[in-house]
Structure formats: C-alpha cells, structure tokens
Chains A and B, each alone.
Chain A
Amino acid sequence: MSLQNKLTEAFKVNTKNVTVENYKKEAFEAFSQKGFPTTKDEEWKYTSLRSILKNEYGIESAKATSVTAETIAPYLVDGVDSYKLIFVDGVFNTSLSDTVEEISVKLLSEAIEDASYEDIFKNKYNSLAKGQTSLTDLNTAFTNEGVIIEVAKSKVVSKPVELVYLASGETSAMLLQPRNLIIVGENAQVKFIERHQSITDVATFNNVVTEVFVGQNAIFDLYKIQNDKNNASLVDATFVAQERDTVASVYTFSFGGNITRNNLSFYQNGPGCDSILNGVTILEGDQLVDNHTLVAHKSPDCQSNETYKGIYGGKSTGVFNGKVIVDQAAQRINAYQQNDSVLISDTATINSKPQLEIFADDVKCSHGCTIGQLDKSALFYMQQRGIPKVEAEALLMFAFCSDAIKEVKIPGLKRKINQLMADKLGVNIRFDEI
C-alpha cells in the first residue's frame, strides 16, 4: 500500500478544539488532492522523494524508548549553556529537558486543550503554513506534538533554546511530524538551535513545520544543524513573518542525512526589516540537500542578505533555489544573494536556480552564482610550505565557507560547527584557532 493510501486510511481527528479540527480537515483535503510532490512539479524538479516514500512507515506514533542523558549528549552543542527541550519519537521528554522560566513553553498537545490558547490558534497557528505545499498540509493534518513558545515583550532571553528531536524507534520506519510555533514579542531577543537526529538503524522521515512571528524591533536567530544518519530524511518548512524593524537570521548547516529539503520562507511585513539567510552544505556519498529559500519583500526600506556555500563530493547532489520577490509597494529594497559551489568528485551534481521577481523600480537587487574548483596555485603554495594536500584543501574549503559562518553569534556553537566541518573534511584542524 502506498504511503498516501496508508495516510488516508489512518487519518482521524480526535480533538475537541474546533479551530484545530478544521485546520486538520482542510489540510488533509488539500493533501489528498495534491499528493506527494513529484519531479514534474517545478518546485521539486531536482529532488525526488520516491526512494524515501517506499519505506513502510509506522503512522501511529510509537512508544518512546527510554533514552538516557549519555545517548543524547553527542547531539547537543557542548560548551553552550542552553535551555534544552528534548523530544523522543515525537513525545516530549520531561526528564531530559530543562524547565524554562524566562519564556513560555507550552506543548502543542496541551495547548490544544487549553482555552487560553484559542486566540493563538485562531490568529497565528497555521496562518503562514496553510496551503503552502502538500507536505506542510500533511504536517498540519497529522501533527500531534511540538512546542508553542512565546517570548514576552522586551525580554532578552539569556540563554539559547536548544530544540532536539530524536528518533529512536526500533521496529518499523518512522514518520515524524513535529510542529512548532514561535512568537517573539516586541523588542525581545532570542536564539534557537534546532536539530533532528536519528539514533536508530531504521529509516526515518521527518516532516517538520515551524512558524515564527517576530514582533516589532525584535531580534530572532535560528541555527539548524543537520548531520543525520544516511537513512534519515528531512523535509523542513520554516516560515518567518517579520514586523517592522526586526532582524531575523536563519543559519542552515547541512553535513549529513539522506534527503534533506529546507523550505525557508521570509515575509517582510513592515518597513526596516533585515533578513539574513546563511547556509553551509558539505556532502558525500548519495546525500542530497535541497535549499529552497524565499524572501518576500512586501514593505519598503528593507534588506535581505543570503549566502549559501556548498561542497559536494561522492555521488551527492546539491540543489539551490533562491527566490526573491519584491512587491510593488516594497521600494528602496536592498536584496543580495550569493550561491557558491565546489564539486570535488566526478559524480557529484549541482543544480542552482537563483530567481528574482521584481515589481518595484527603486530597488537594488543582485544575485551571483558560481561553480568552480579550488585554486590550484593556492594549493601548490601551501604544499610548498609543507602543508599536506588534504589539509591545504580543507583550509581552502573552510575559507570558502567562512562568509556564511562568521556571523554566528554563539561562540560555543561556532566552535561546534568548525569541529563538524573539520570532521566532514577529514582533517584534524581546529579551524577556530586559525
């Protein structure tokens, strides 16, 4: 039985919350009509989900196996003092998670039963994700857990919030669909680190949706670390709606996993917004990473900065689709986009599609896209000075990626990223000490 049929059979709504019930029914209807995307779909031209849809996924959320602090330690950012929120197989793990007092954290399953959240469900929840893609609809229809985080007005959160979703199922392939909603109040500042990790040998498929609302003058940072096992796939959709004079940054570090698709959408709803989208991808084997970004400039006097760097080895495939839309009302926009890739093997592929759609005249929009090799003379120079070739190459590749990393605001996280990059490039260099 195909996954779609299986999902159709399993669909049921068991909530008393009428608003959510309607969202779920609507989304399920939309998903049933559209089905899973295929490569005939322009937005999925270079990414086929066929291989991962074949797996026999367990639809009902499995009972979480016991996970100890030691098991999850490698997947946390060591050296960073953070609020940890740990989910195991889609279930919140109270013993491993920290209690957070600075901000309001409510589990989705509890919020649905709580009448005081009705306003949020009516006005915020699903307002960005609704009808976006068939996979976001699928998430809306089936999700049963996640977090609703509210940061109060003018609150500067002292520590980053680390969201970790573990997959530990042992019997059948797992389909996990967490759903998050983050509401950042006026003048508030908050940082998030997000990671989806499989600690099992069965195939996993994460279909994640995160909606973020950034209130006036607020500063929001989100760091995504993707270094999953080779049988773990991820389709992530993150929507960020910005009010006036906000700064929102999303960093995506993709070093592993089977198929990873990042749908990242920014909506600038007020003047003076700044959106920052950075990404580093280093792949090998059969891995595929597809970064699909959208910056919708809807208001005047805003800017966006996008830098994506990719290094592709083995038989890996990199896809980049960067869309910038400037509405007619969005005058005096400064939009910049850069996508650079290096292929280091004969069998790797890169497909890049930077895309501009501009309806306003007083704008400065540019995009650049390059595909090339490491500078041979630079390599030779370093080898002459006794630096082994592998290290010389790694140094050049690190330098190549550094533009997208240098503005990471959490020092401990930066160290971790540097370490992951060194591992990935097969060298033992402390890049952060260079």
Chain B
Amino acid sequence: MKYTEDDLREELKTKEYEYGFYTYLDAETFPKGLNEDVIRAISLKKEEPEWMTEWRLDAFRKWEAMAEPEWANVRYEKPDFQNISYYSAPKKADPNKSLDDVDPELLEMYKKLGISVDEQKKLQNIAVDIVVDSVSVATTFKKTLNEKGIIFCPISEAIKEHPELVKKYMGSVVPKTDNFYAALNSAVFTDGSFCYIPKGVTCPMELSTYFRINEGGTGQFERTLVVADEGSFVSYLEGCTAPSRDENQLHAAVVELVALDDAEIKYSTVQNWFPGDAKGKGGVYNFVTKRAVCEKNAKVSWTQVETGSAVTWKYPSCILKGDNSTGEFYSIAVTNNYQQADTGTKMIHLGNNTRSTIISKGISAGHSHNSYRGLVKVNSKAENARNFSQCDSLLMGDLCGAHTFPYIEVKNKSAQIEHEATTSKIGEDQLFYCNQRGIDTEKAIALIVNGFSKDVLNKLPMEFAVEAQKLLEISLEGSVG
C-alpha cells in the first residue's frame, strides 16, 4: 500500500518523544527558590571548601545585577528563577560510586536510553560519568584512567581533591560575569565533570558524560571543565535527555575547555533534551555557554548534534590565543514542531597562523525556527588567519523558518576568510528518484537528510554517529513538506 502524507501526519501525531519516561527514583530535592542561603546550602551539601562558597556567592551577587539577554532570535516565556529547585539528587547514589552500587532503576533507565553503563560500553572502551538531575551518580573505568594519571571525576569531587587545578582553571575561560546564564550557573552549579589529561598523555578511551533531568520542577546546572596539558589528547562525549513534562525546565550549563600547548581536545555533544510536545507545550530551555582556549599549536574541535530542547541558545566558541592553533565547529541542529534554536559559534583569532573551520547544518520542520549566529573575528595582530565557514539550511514545510546571522570582523590584511550559506528544500526530483527505486518517501527523506548532514556526522565518534543518525530520523519523522 502506498504510504501517503496522511499516514505520515497520523504517525507524527502519535509519535512520542522516545526518551520521555520518568524514572521513580527516591530523590532529595531542595525547596524552590534562590537566595544566598540556598547557595550556601548547596555548597554545604557538596562539602565544599570556603573559597568555593565565596566564589559562588560572588557570582550570585553579580548575577542579581545582570539582565536577561534579549538579542537571540527566540521567543519564550522567561523562566521564573524563584520557582526552580536548585538541587535535586537521587537519594540512593552511593558515595563510593562503583558501578555495583548504582541504583538498579537507574541502570534500567540508561538501558532505555540505549546508553548502558555496563559491559557493552566497557567493550567499546568508554569511560562514563553520569549526571542525573544535578548529581553525578557513576563514573566508570576510574582505575584504568588513574594509571595514566588522568583525572576524570565529578567536579564536586575535584573541588575537594584537586583544588589547585580547579582554582586555576575554573572561570578562566568563561568568567563568572560572562553572561546572565553563565553567572547563574557559577552561583548554583551542583555538579558536572572534571577532566585533566597530564602532559604528553593520549587518553586511551573516549570520556563521556551523560546528563539527565529526571525530577520535575528542577533546573539542571552542570559545569564541565576539561584541561588538556601540553601535548595531550582527549576525546570527550556528552549526551543529554529529559522526561516529557508540561512545564518548561531550565538547563543552564557551562563548559570550559583548556587546551595547553600542542594539546588537542575533541568535544562531541548529542543533545536530546525533551523538545516539548507537538503543540509546543513543555520542553527544556537549553541556555548553555561553551568555550575553549587554545594555546600554541593546540586544537579544539566542537561537534554537536542538537535535536532536542524547546529553546536552544548555545554558541560553543574557540579563543585561538596561541600561534598555529586550530578551532573547529561542526554542528547539526534539527528543529521540529515549535522548537526554536539559536546556535552557532565564535572563532576569535588572536595568535598568528590560526585556522578555523565552521560547518553548520540546520534543518527546520513544522513550525520551528532555526538560526545560525556566528562570529569570526581576526585581531589586528593575528597574521595569516584562515577561516572557512559554511552554513546550510534545509527547510521542510512552509511554516518553519531558517535564519543566518554571521558576523565577520577583520582587522588584519593577511587574513583569508570565506563564508558561504545556502538555504533550500529537499528537491522533488530527489524524492522522485528515490520513490522510483522503491524507497518510500519517509526513508528517502532520512536518506537525503543524512547525506546533507554527512560532513558533520563523519566527525562524530563511531558509536555516537550511529545514535545521532537514528536521532535525526526520529526528530524528523512525519515532517514531509
């Protein structure tokens, strides 16, 4: 029987967010509200030293004086910061954090997510740190990493055990007052991952963090800090999901990467927060600040697949400070239904012979809006800077929008900058060609979208690429225009 557009529409209606289950974990949650006492309480709960408490309070005081940014091309109801619980932890999380102690329900949850913490991943050689709601619940493969001198642990642990590293680097890339949400995060972050790769060490496995917002009425504020010392290499993966809820949940994270001389960091994200239902109700507000500093000869590569969240506001950036440093940004952003995404990157060329590449693919369907916002800046002292940017948008249906806001600022004559952007839809001839060969319309679209996104998918680590491809298909199901 012929698969018609009506069938598709029907399927779209019934299609639910696959990861929208809620796991009944016994959780300890703070009452809603935010003030200095709450921050002190978080700090106390995490058994933090005095300097950290002060650091948080300082950030909070600065945040109070700041205004919420309005410039992004997104419209949403402003979150009420007093109506969020700033701390929620699954109660049974064991301080020993060995895999056996992890709540079995939690493991079940990860199985559902297709992210297993068990053998399967061990075979694939991935060390995982899992953050549920606000607290890191499991870190695997600790021993193997320890042998190499690699530190990979929840940031709350790092604050206690490696204060010298945390003190030196936290806030060095994203200062407390960088922006409204970064300041909020600095004040209330409850956990996240910390990773330090010593000099000359190539991390033997992929490091991975999985974030999940489980509890209702909470916000997630995690903080990730990755420091790659001279000549080291690390590949880092980050994934996120949240249950389906009618309310909007807030996620305001900060990720800081420090790549010292000759180091390389590859940071990949598959973001699949709950995008809200087909009518645009609920969903996660994803307001994230991600930034990297590259010293001499260092390289940072951001890869992201953004399929979730009701509203996304995210610009992973590279400050190319050292000579010969390289920054890369590969992104696929998919929006469907009433999702809104304003995402892109900033490449700041400060050193000589710095290079950056930006490949951004936006796919909009339904009533969604997808914006690329990027900045390429070449300082007057940065000789021979090189940038290549490509932003392509694909539109499905005539109710969605695709927007491009690239900023290019060049103050040095030796710079070479290329920027190109295209917007188009899936060609009827392409679909017809597939149909002729017995590929139904839905499959054909998945095929074409995959081809469109290939440049970025290729940059993802293997097992993530498979997941990401599947995610793309799910996100776009039934969106034939």
Contact = CB atoms under 8 A, between A and B. Distances in A.
A422 interface: no
B145 interface: no
B481 A361 contact: yes
A366 B403 contact: no
Nearest to B395: A361
Interface stretch (B5-13, B111-119, B248-256, B407-415): B407-415
A357 B403 contact: yes
B409 A349 contact: yes
B417 A371 contact: yes
Contacts of B416: 370-373
Contact of B413 (A42, A351, A368, A373): A373
A240 to B, nearest CB: 23
A207 to B, nearest CB: 27
B91 interface: no
Given A358-B393, A361-B396, A366 B422 contact: yes
Contact of B423 (A347, A353, A358, A371): A358
A1 B425 CA distance: 56
B414 A373 contact: yes
B380 A367 contact: no
Given A42-B71, A352-B408, A358 B402 contact: yes
Contacts of A343: 410, 412-413, 415
B interface, by DSSP: helix, strand, loop or mixed?
strand
Nearest to A343: B413
A350 interface: yes
Contact of B420 (A344, A345, A369): A369
A369 B422 CA distance: 12
Contacts of B411: 348-349
B400 A371 contact: no
A368 B408 CA distance: 12
A366 B405 CA distance: 13
Interface in A42-79: 42, 46
Contacts of A364: 422-424
Interface string A315-343: 00000000000001001000000000101
A355 B400 contact: no
B408 A366 contact: no
A350 B406 contact: no
Given A328-B399, A354-B404, A367 B421 contact: yes
A362 B408 CA distance: 28
A354 B406 contact: yes
A105 interface: no
Interface string B194-231: 00000000000000000000000000000000000000
B338 to A, nearest CB: 15
A351 B425 contact: no
A346 interface: yes
Given A331-B398, A367-B404, A369-B406, A356 B413 contact: no
B404 A355 contact: yes
A351 to B, nearest CB: 5
Interface in B290-305: none
Contacts of B397: 361
A interface, by DSSP: helix, strand, loop or mixed?
strand
Contacts of A331: 398
A359 interface: yes
B401 interface: yes
Contacts of A370: 416-419
A315 to B, nearest CB: 11
Contacts of A202: none
A363 interface: yes
Contact of A346 (B403, B405, B413, B423): B413
B158 to A, nearest CB: 40
A343 B405 CA distance: 23
A346 B396 CA distance: 45
A360 interface: yes
A369 B408 contact: yes
A363 B409 contact: no
Interface in A365-395: 365-373
A361 B417 contact: no
Contacts of B403: 355-358
A365 B404 CA distance: 11
A341 B378 CA distance: 14
A350 B481 CA distance: 40
Given A349-B409, A350-B410, A351-B409, A362 B398 contact: yes
A353 B407 contact: yes
Contacts of A348: 411, 413
Nearest to A331: B398
A150 B422 CA distance: 39
A366 B423 contact: yes
A343 B413 CA distance: 5
A24 to B, nearest CB: 32
A359 B422 CA distance: 14
Contacts of A344: 413
A364 B406 CA distance: 18
Interface in B443-481: 481
A102 to B, nearest CB: 43
Nearest to B390: A368
Contacts of B419: 352, 354, 367-370
Contacts of A369: 406, 408, 417-420
Contacts of A372: 415-418
A289 B409 CA distance: 15
B401 to A, nearest CB: 5
A430 to B, nearest CB: 28
Contacts of A371: 408, 410, 415-417
Contacts of A363: 395, 423-425
A354 B395 CA distance: 19
Contacts of B396: 361
A361 B396 CA distance: 6
Contacts of B418: 368-370, 372
Contacts of A354: 404, 406, 419, 421
A359 B401 contact: yes
A350 B395 contact: no
Most chain B CB within a 10 A radius of its CB, from A363, A368, A369, A371: A371
A29 to B, nearest CB: 25
A41 to B, nearest CB: 12
A124 B425 CA distance: 37
Most chain A CB within a 10 A radius of its CB, from B395, B398, B410, B418: B410
Interface string B158-194: 0000000000000000000000000000000000000
B457 to A, nearest CB: 23
A268 to B, nearest CB: 17
Interface of B: 71, 380, 393, 395-425, 481
Q: What are the 6 tightest A-B residue pairs by CB atom distance, in nearest-first order?
A: A343-B413, A361-B395, A371-B417, A369-B419, A352-B408, A365-B423
13 contacts: A351-B409, A351-B410, A354-B421, A357-B401, A357-B403, A360-B398, A361-B425, A365-B424, A366-B421, A368-B421, A369-B419, A371-B408, A373-B414
Given A343-B415, A352-B406, A368-B420, 6 more contacts: A351-B408, A360-B398, A361-B425, A362-B425, A365-B422, A370-B416
Interface of A: 42, 46, 328, 331, 341, 343-373
